[in-house]
Structure 1
């Protein structure tokens, strides 16, 4: 009995050491899998960024290098399944000529969901990588819009949720300050138009000609906004004035990410 008491615990200690070593091995392997998973996701993000950059160039536009993040974990199981939860694309300083004029987008954030790409497509490079839904948000600076209107002293901003304008105007020999708001119209194809139909000026002469001149000024600054062509077939759906600029929302469905031109 004394012999067993003396030597009995040793196999248990040895067993604990083996179990501890096995746990450590599992942790190391898990760590390696996580690293491999993140490396694979990084490679995929880099490839998508290159494709988006090529699309922007083909559209005659330009931007800072796109930043891409592939969401969902683990990534490698998404590769095997051929469906990716989310791909986020961040673009900065998007601009391109539109009939000689352009309103640049300081930022454009794109969120692609439920992206389908079979393993065969990834291996061969043949076939489409399709996003079920793509949503984009961008901001148009008021300074950019004011430069498009090209009126000395004119400023734009947000007031009570509306696009507000202030500008000096000479009417019948008087220097007046015009104020008012604009209606923002989004067309069926995503075109944006500004319509200044409600302008006033303190001290405006009562003569009908003065009101006619003010209306003419309103028409002269009511313009279509020449946005650069958006990547990934994005079409503008809504434009809302915010303190930092016009917030643009765009979307698209069933978009082939790797073949849109």
Structure 2
């Protein structure tokens, strides 16, 4: 009977240790979240997650294996809020200094930074409220039927669909808000050498992947394509990481970058 009591006691102690460990992690996540919000002038607390167990062992060593940060941020060139994410691998900082805000510059082995521009913000940016982003047109030649659809991850050619407004002194122009019918275009999505996204509409699209669209007279073709063409400045991802990749995924434009062996500024999750 005494042996059972010892086992039960050990299990209780182990359970208590786990609870205390998760409690310490949760408190640290809260403190770092508030510091990031204040330092980067965010509208709400970002989501901060310390990965790895036990957390206390990492804290005592001042070496954190993996920290994820997600936040809503505001950029002067993109209307509304966008989602920014940062994955910090190998963070070197005393926990006390980190949670008390005594250290702002933190060495990190690797930073995975990401920015998601969602459909609502894209619609505001293009001034096309019902704008949708689709994957590339299906390539029937490979036997797969192509990818298509809004859930596809892709880079290069994409499809944009929306109802645009053109000035017309006569009849409603197909593919405009006057006609009430959307138009679809093929567009090139690319990241230039300066770290800016180039979205360049190249042709009117009438395929199956996008919403059925209105016919656009040739005389209006260039005007419509211009409505779907934009440059987006994304040179600074979270913590100043340079963008390396852009793709369309799930109706969003996603920009990613990686920095290695860098010292991040906790006040620069969102760039000024």
Tell me the TM-score normalised to structure 1 length.
Answer: 0.71
Instruction: Go from structure 1 to structure 2 and tell me whether the alpha carbon gap of 1:255 and 1:191 turns closer, same or farther (over 3 Å shift).
Output: farther
Bigger CA radius of gyration:
1
Q: Determine the structure 2 residue equivalent to 1:28.
A: 12
Question: Is the aligned partner of 1:198 residue 2:198?
Answer: no
Q: Determine the structure 2 residue equivalent to 1:215.
A: 222
Q: Determine the structure 2 residue equivalent to 1:165.
A: 161
Once residues 27 and 141 of structure 1 are traced to their aligned partners in structure 2, the CA distance between those partners, rounded to angstroms, is 47
Q: Deviations over 1:200-229 (max 9, x none)?
A: 684635xxxx3xx53254235422225696
SS in structure 2 at match of 1:65: coil
Once residues 127 and 179 of structure 1 are traced to their aligned partners in structure 2, the CA distance between those partners, rounded to angstroms, is 47
SS in structure 2 at match of 1:129: strand
CA shift, 1:239, in A, is 2.3
Gaps of 5+ in 1: 1-15
Once residues 220 and 188 of structure 1 are traced to their aligned partners in structure 2, the CA distance between those partners, rounded to angstroms, is 24
Question: Is the aligned partner of 1:43 residue 2:27?
Answer: yes
In terms of mean alpha carbon deviation, does 224-233 or 127-136 score higher? 224-233
CA shift, 1:25, in A, is 3.1
Once residues 75 and 43 of structure 2 are traced to their aligned partners in structure 1, the CA distance between those partners, rounded to angstroms, is 9
SS in structure 1 at match of 2:45: coil
Once residues 18 and 12 of structure 2 are traced to their aligned partners in structure 1, the CA distance between those partners, rounded to angstroms, is 10
Q: Determine the structure 1 residue equivalent to 2:210.
A: none
CA shift, 1:184, in A, is 1.6
In terms of mean alpha carbon deviation, does 116-125 or 77-86 score higher? 116-125
CA shift, 1:46, in A, is 1.6
Between structures 1 and 2, the one with greater helix share: 1
Instruction: Go from structure 1 to structure 2 and tell me whether the alpha carbon gap of 1:85 and 1:172 turns closer, same or farther (over 3 Å shift).
Output: same
Question: Is the aligned partner of 1:96 residue 2:57?
Answer: no
Question: Is the aligned partner of 1:136 residue 2:103?
Answer: no
